[in-house]
Amino acid sequence: MQTEIFVAGFGGQGIMFAGQVISYAAMDKGREVTWIPSYGPEMRGGTANCTVVIADEEIGSPLVQNPPAALVMNLPSLDKYEPAVKPGGLLVVNGSMVDREVQRRDIASVSVPCNEIAEELGNRRLATMVAIGALLELLPILERKDIEATLAAHMPGRHKHLLPSNYEALKRGAEYAKKHARKAN
């Protein structure tokens, strides 16, 4: 089995971190993984996206054109990647930064108020963890506990005190997605 995921937003939203966390969790589970980052020319606020490929066998090509899943954190990313998701796929949207609904009905989707949930938890930087929780609730390639174990194993020591809030963000994203996801028609 092979699964491809686009993660997209703007610089400073934790896009690369999200892709890395998913990649490390898959690697820690013994899966084959590729992670390819792509940045716009700006230091912060420019485009940022990455692709993650997770497979049970060797990955033939890390290039992704029509993934079965995408996690988008802003409107320009939704505009760009909504058409690319494979029919029957999944689109997770940061509803805090997007002022329109997903147009396609041939894919499952959920618009999660990631920023608001993160702020309720006391740290706006948790928005991407909320989105990852939603993604994994609807795309069961990894379990939430896998991401939690990866965070515990790979997070620098100076940030270990943030683990409980990251775990809560993952949980809240998953809970929101479970209640509000729209299925593909």
Q: What's the CATH number where 10 sits?
A: 3.40.920.10
Per the structure block, which two tokens stand in for 160? 């270990």
Euclidean distance between CA atoms 122 and 120, whole angstroms? 5
Any domain includes 176 = yes
21 vs 132: CA distance, rounded Å: 9
Measured distance CA(177)–CA(138) in Å, rounded: 7
Identify the CA nearest to 12 among candidates 107, 100, 97: 97
Condensed to tens digits (0 to 9), the pLDDT of residues 35-93 reads 999 876 655 667 789 999 999 999 988 888 899 999 999 999 999 999 999 999 999 99
Residue 146 belongs to a domain: yes
The structure tokens listed for 97 are 């930064």
Report the domain count for the chain: 1
User: Checking DSSP bridges between strand 2-10 and strand 47-55, what pairing results, if any?
Assistant: antiparallel
Closest CA to 63 of 148, 136, 4, 134: 4
pLDDT 10s digits, 106-157: 999 999 999 999 999 999 999 999 999 999 999 999 999 999 999 999 888 8
Q: Give the model's confidence band at 11: pLDDT under 50 very low, under 70 low, under 90 confident, else very high.
A: confident
Q: In 3-143, which residue ranges form alpha helices assigned H by DSSP? A: 15-28, 75-81, 114-120, 127-138
> For residue 12, what pLDDT band results from cuts at 50, 70 and 90?
confident
Rounded distance between C-alpha atoms, residue 116 and residue 113, angstroms: 6
Instruction: Note whether residue 185 is domain-resident.
Output: no
**Looking at the domain assignment, is residue 26 inside a domain?**
yes
> Could you tell me where the DSSP H helices lie in 7-126?
15-28, 75-81, 114-120
Q: How far apart, in whole angstroms, are the C-alpha atoms of residue 149 and residue 19?
A: 16
Question: Does this model's pTM top 0.85?
Answer: yes
Confidence class of residue 185 from pLDDT cuts 50, 70 and 90?
Answer: confident
Nearest CA among 136, 48, 44, 150 for reference residue 92: 136
In a domain, 52, yes or no: yes
Per residue in 157-183, pLDDT (tens digit) is 898 899 999 999 999 999 999 999 999
Domain residues for the domain of 46 are 2-180
φ, ψ of residue 81 in degrees (nearest 5): -100, -15
74 close to 48: Cβ distance less than 8 angstroms: no
- Please give the structure tokens belonging to residue 92: 């997770």
Q: What is the mean pLDDT of residues 91-104?
A: 96
- The pLDDT score that the predictor gives to residue 42 is 58
